Structure 1
Amino acid sequence: MRRTVVLLVLLAAVLLVVADRVVTPLTPVRAAGSALYGTIENAAGSAMRWVGGSSGGDRRLRALEQENAALRADLLAARAQPGAQAPGSARPGAQAPGGAQAGALSGRSDRLDLLAAAVGRHRGVAAHVVGFGRGQSVTVDAGLSAGVARDVTVLNADGLVGRVTWAGPSTATVSLITDAASSVGARMAGSGELGVVTGLPGEGLLRLSLFDPNAPLRAGDEVVTLGSAGARPYVAGVPIGVVTAVESAHGGATRTALVRPAARLSALGLVAVIVPAAVR
């Protein structure tokens, strides 16, 4: 009897997956699953993070990281206004913890502050990666209830992570920039040359294709996002990665290179989802 029940449950699960992928998306079912899964995952994640950062210093650093991610777009938008505080300067009344860890955290925050001119009328929603999906995608513990929607930028303190491709009540799916279907408008940080970055999932790298086949390009050049209309799906000026090898010579049809992502996509933790400030 027990074996029969298990087989029926498995069969029902298979039918649901097939129907969702082949016949028609089961959005209400996925939304219900997101709400349930998100609630459980949030509770478990909070407990694990509390245990993992049991010391006072670790808890303080985690709190500062959470604050930096949650207020990311608010700070960037404010500093983009005339007379705003310069990037990298301390907030009034803010106190930084001492030690090497505090210095590293400050450096990560400073790099994010460099995006000040790129993001306007947007805010950052802090989220943690709580699972890995099919292909090059991850699940984060923030969804529609936090203002997360489809086709918005996801980044961390190092650079671009990807974009949201599905959002439920409490969780969302993020397609990584290394996904084979990923295509991001790019600009060379030094020369300003424009191009497109696509994913190479098997290698964990990216391929850059510049529009000008004779554009200057060498290993070590930094690549940033060009930006999209309305900053969706990608805001401008986010570090994508660094050129590691140039593939084609001058005079060819294209100018291509391999790029190492700025963000460690295999070790993601805290991320910021950039959403319109009007969405609450």
Structure 2
Amino acid sequence: MATDREKRWRGLEREGPRGSRSLLVALLLCCLTVLTVDVRGGDDSALDPARAAVGEVLGPAETAAGAVVRPFTAVPRWFRTHASLRERVAALEADNADLRADLATTDLDRNRLAELDGLTRAAADLGTALVPARVVALGARQSFTRTVTIDAGTDAGVDADMTVVNADGLVGRVLRATSTTATVLLAADADSVVGARLGSSLEMGFLRGRGGLGDDDLLDLELVDGSVVPARDDVVVTWGSRGGAPYVAGVPVGRVVDVYRNPRTTSQRAVVVPFVDYSALDVVGVVVPSGTRSDRGVVEADGSLR
């Protein structure tokens, strides 16, 4: 026989589904009623005070929650933006470095181009072929000689006792050469002796260096005929050697700036300022026979590059 508690529990089980359905129907009717009232109210809805009250309560909470969450949601965007900015800055820095490098070498490139053009004219004026080269080293002062090293050697057709010139005139002669480099004795060296002549009278003499560079790179010309007095501003050129070694003929050397007489020998000595600035050598040309095989371009006597 069932107890009173069991009867009540069974009664609730029977009524449970019906009670839930009744509650759901009541909620639906309530929602429909609220919507009807809100729609019919138009702009002055009866629910506006309730909305305002809820907004007053929930608005500050939403703002606070947004302020708390915003830094975390912005982190991925910050990283993406920061990485993009870093890449942009790196690209701009690279562009600026390239522009600065181009600007820094503009004058150098312009000067070298001018010197190469000068070598072309020199080859045509001398009627000889030239192997272009660059000065890559200056001889040590401890060697007591004035020499430079150029970046052309036997592979380029350069050998000992060849004349070296640049766009302005005589540089010197090749002392020795390796496969890729050569040592050049400058005409300004104290041991350098160059056969030279005056351009106006063709009087011959011997040109010797003083061993100085820069403002002190003067040369001394002693004429064979001691009775001849060189004229100031007279141009001095090489008279040349047999076979063009070590000097070819007709290479401009410098200009007479002063003349001294030696009372003991009654000879004349002319002081010559060279056309070439030996302290600022860069692009030079080595005089080679026409048709010389070279590992680089050869400027021929007609100005063409082979």
Query: 1:220-266 deviations in whole A, cap 9, x for unaligned?
Result: 11100001111111111111111111011699532211111110011
TM-score of the aligned structures, taking structure 1 as reference length: 0.60
Q: Is the 8 A contact 1:227 1:237 kept in 2?
A: yes
Query: Following the alignment from structure 1 to structure 2, what is the Cα–Cα distance between the partners of residues 167 and 241?
Result: 27
Q: Is the 8 A contact 2:227 2:266 kept in 1?
A: no
Q: Is the 8 A contact 1:214 1:250 kept in 2?
A: no
Q: Is the 8 A contact 2:115 2:166 kept in 1?
A: no
Report the AA paired with residue 66 of structure 1.
Answer: L
| Residue from 240, 252, 255 that aligns with 1:239 | 252
Q: Is the 8 A contact 2:112 2:283 kept in 1?
A: no
Is 1:154 aligned with 2:154?
Answer: no
SS at match of 2:261: coil
Partner of 2:134: 128
SS at match of 1:220: coil
Query: Following the alignment from structure 2 to structure 1, what is the Cα–Cα distance between the partners of residues 238 and 175?
Result: 18
| Residue from 235, 241, 256 that aligns with 2:269 | 256
Gaps of 5+ in 2: 1-100, 294-306
Report the AA paired with residue 140 of structure 1.
Answer: I
Is 1:196 aligned with 2:206?
Answer: yes
Report the AA paired with residue 222 of structure 2.
Answer: S
1:62: Cα distance to partner? Answer: 4.1
Q: Answer with 163-172 or 196-205: which moved more.
A: 196-205
1:169: Cα distance to partner? Answer: 0.8
1:216: Cα distance to partner? Answer: 2.9
Change (3 A) 1:257 1:59: closer
Query: Following the alignment from structure 1 to structure 2, what is the Cα–Cα distance between the partners of residues 212 and 274?
Result: 30
1:54: Cα distance to partner? Answer: 5.2
Query: Following the alignment from structure 1 to structure 2, what is the Cα–Cα distance between the partners of residues 242 and 148?
Result: 29
Query: Following the alignment from structure 1 to structure 2, what is the Cα–Cα distance between the partners of residues 143 and 170?
Result: 4
1:219: Cα distance to partner? Answer: 2.0
SS at match of 1:235: coil
Query: Following the alignment from structure 2 to structure 1, what is the Cα–Cα distance between the partners of residues 103 and 148?
Result: 22
TM-score of the aligned structures, taking structure 2 as reference length: 0.55
Write the mapping of 1:88-127 to structure 2, written as runs, cut at 5 A.
109=121, 112=122, 116=125, 118-119=126-127, 122-127=128-133
Change (3 A) 1:279 1:245: same
Partner of 2:243: 230
1:131: Cα distance to partner? Answer: 0.4
Query: Following the alignment from structure 2 to structure 1, what is the Cα–Cα distance between the partners of residues 272 and 132?
Result: 27
Query: Following the alignment from structure 2 to structure 1, what is the Cα–Cα distance between the partners of residues 138 and 231?
Result: 34
| Residue from 103, 116, 126 that aligns with 1:66 | 116
Q: Is the 8 A contact 1:151 1:232 kept in 2?
A: yes
Change (3 A) 1:52 1:233: farther
Query: Following the alignment from structure 1 to structure 2, what is the Cα–Cα distance between the partners of residues 249 and 64?
Result: 42
Query: Following the alignment from structure 1 to structure 2, what is the Cα–Cα distance between the partners of residues 68 and 219?
Result: 26
Partner of 1:213: 226
Report the AA paired with residue 148 of structure 1.
Answer: V
Change (3 A) 1:177 1:58: closer
Change (3 A) 1:253 1:124: same
Q: Is the 8 A contact 1:213 1:250 kept in 2?
A: no
Query: Following the alignment from structure 1 to structure 2, what is the Cα–Cα distance between the partners of residues 177 and 144?
Result: 22
| Residue from 151, 170, 179 that aligns with 2:180 | 170
Query: Following the alignment from structure 1 to structure 2, what is the Cα–Cα distance between the partners of residues 156 and 66?
Result: 9
1:53: Cα distance to partner? Answer: 7.0
Query: Following the alignment from structure 1 to structure 2, what is the Cα–Cα distance between the partners of residues 138 and 232?
Result: 19
Query: Following the alignment from structure 1 to structure 2, what is the Cα–Cα distance between the partners of residues 67 and 256?
Result: 35
| Residue from 191, 205, 230 that aligns with 1:181 | 191
Query: Following the alignment from structure 1 to structure 2, what is the Cα–Cα distance between the partners of residues 198 and 156?
Result: 19
SS at match of 1:248: strand
Change (3 A) 1:256 1:61: closer
Change (3 A) 1:162 1:60: closer
Query: 1:152-210 deviations in whole A, cap 9, x for unaligned?
Result: 11011111000000101111100000111111111100111111101111442111000
Partner of 1:141: 151
Q: Is the 8 A contact 1:132 1:139 kept in 2?
A: yes
Larger Rg: 2
SS at match of 2:240: coil
Report the AA paired with residue 174 of structure 1.
Answer: V
